Structure formats: structure tokens, C-alpha cells
Amino acid sequence: MVEADELARVRVNAPGDVRTAAGWLRAAVEQRLGNWRVATCSNIASARPMRDGEGTVLATSVFDWADAGANGWWRKPRLALESPLPAVCRYESDPVWGNAEGFRALSGNPMLARIDTSDFERRALCRAAIVVPVHMPFGRIGAASLVPRDPALTDLSVPFAQHAEALGQLCRVFITSHVRVMEGSARLPMGVALSRREVECLRWAAVGKTDLEIGMIISRSRATIRFHITNATTKLDAVSRSQAVFKAAQLGFISLPG
């Protein structure tokens, strides 16, 4: 159970709050799990580590990973491509725990069984971890990994069952508030109002239809389709048809094909 005051402690409201909020997150993890460490990432697609208001890397200044030195996980730009820990965040939104034998979620997710956990320790830089995916607006994914210092502890089923949901809340609040304060707003237009016809054209464009094909489907001329898609592209501040489709999906006007 997480109390409101505990959530408030890990929330970042200004750059000067980052170090204190990170310290509270570390304390919350240690209080519930004991001798564990936390690793936080605000964007699994970026190699940039999370920093405090003075530009110091949180992994070393707060979360006690200084002993990793040059081999620290935040220094490995290919980690998001190679490690199973960020990979699982692409297929699950609830906390999970994993080791070389696979990942387990709070509820069933058959996709987790398809994640490659071979050579787990080398690729994940740990033998087991609880992972908290942090899905944010516009398709951004952050993550927090909770790792026991004892390498012999690889079955995390008990601490996961007891504390995953509470620690998941705290990690999400810390990471999402850090992003808002430290990284500014996403480069997406605000207050966009697409017309019904513009949305319809983009929806067909998203599944690969050409202007001519869309025109035949909705009984409009090719020029009319091009007009609607051009208008939508301008409103979305996009530089191409494909970017317009992507931004429309990010803002919830359309869904991309699965």
C-alpha cells in the first residue's frame, strides 16, 4: 500500500527536487526489499541517463551504482537493443520479474514467453530483476529495474508478490514527473482539431492505401484525398505523409495496424 505522502515525496516538481525525490525512491525500495538497488531510465530508446538539477547522473549520485564504473548500465547505449529488461517493457505495462528462466507478470501475458532470456546475466547485467515499465504519452517508454545485491537471489516471486504494485506506483510517479520537469514538453502540436474526413484519409493511409485507392474507397477524387492529407499534415506540423500518420496515432486520432 502506498500512502499519498509517500507518492508526494517521490514526485519531482522542480529541478531542485530531483535528488531528494530520487533519494526517497531509493529509501522506499530499501525499506520494502532490503539490500536492493534501483536503476531508472526515462526513455529506453535513448542512451541519455537520468540526471538531477545540477546535471549529475542519478545512477552514481543517488542510486549507488558508482562501483560499476566504466561498466555501468547507463554507459551502454546498446543496452536497449540487447537487454531483455527494456525489451519486456515493450510488451507489458504492469511490473514483471525475470531471470534466465523467463518473465512473470501480475497477470497472464503470453507475449512474455517469447522474449529471449538466453545469456540473461551478460545481457541484462544482473541475474534477476523486478522491472517496472513506465508508458507515457506519445509512445514514450521509461523503466525502473529493481535488482537484489545478492547475486544468489534469483527467485523473486515472494518480494514481487508482496511489493511490486506499490513500488510500481512510486517508480512511475518519479519517472513521469522527472520527464515533465527535466525534459520539457514533447514536440507535438497542441490543440489540433482534425476533421472527420482528414481522420478517415489518414486511417486508410496508415494501412498503406494510396491517394487513388483511398479515393475509390470513400468515393472522392484523388485530388480531394491529397487535399485532406495535406491539410492534416500541416495541422500536425509533420514533414511527410508517414510522419503525419505517426503523429495522428500518437495523439489518438487513429490507431496503427497491429
Mean pLDDT by 10 residues, the chain (258 residues): 93 96 98 97 88 94 84 76 92 96 92 95 95 90 96 97 97 97 72 92 94 95 94 89 89 84
156 and 98, same domain (yes or no): yes
Q: Are residues 243 and 170 in the same domain?
A: no
Residues 6+ positions from 28 with CB-CB distance below 8 Å: 6, 10, 167, 170
**Other Cβ atoms within 10 Å of 71 Cβ, number:** 10
Identify whether residues 148 and 228 lie together within a single domain.
no
pLDDT at 26: 98
Distance CA 118, CA 123 (A): 8
Cα separation, 31 vs 9, in Å, equals 15
Query: Are both 201 and 123 inside the same structural domain?
Result: no
pTM: 0.81
245/117 same-domain check: no
Q: Examine the domain organization and report whether 209 and 123 are in the same domain.
A: no
CA distances from 237 to 126, 204, 241 (A): 42, 20, 11
Which pLDDT score, from 0 to 100, does residue 47 have?
Answer: 76
- Provide the number of structural domains found in the chain: 2
Confidence at residue 79, expressed as pLDDT on a 0 to 100 scale: 78
Q: Residue 18 sits in which domain range?
A: 4-182
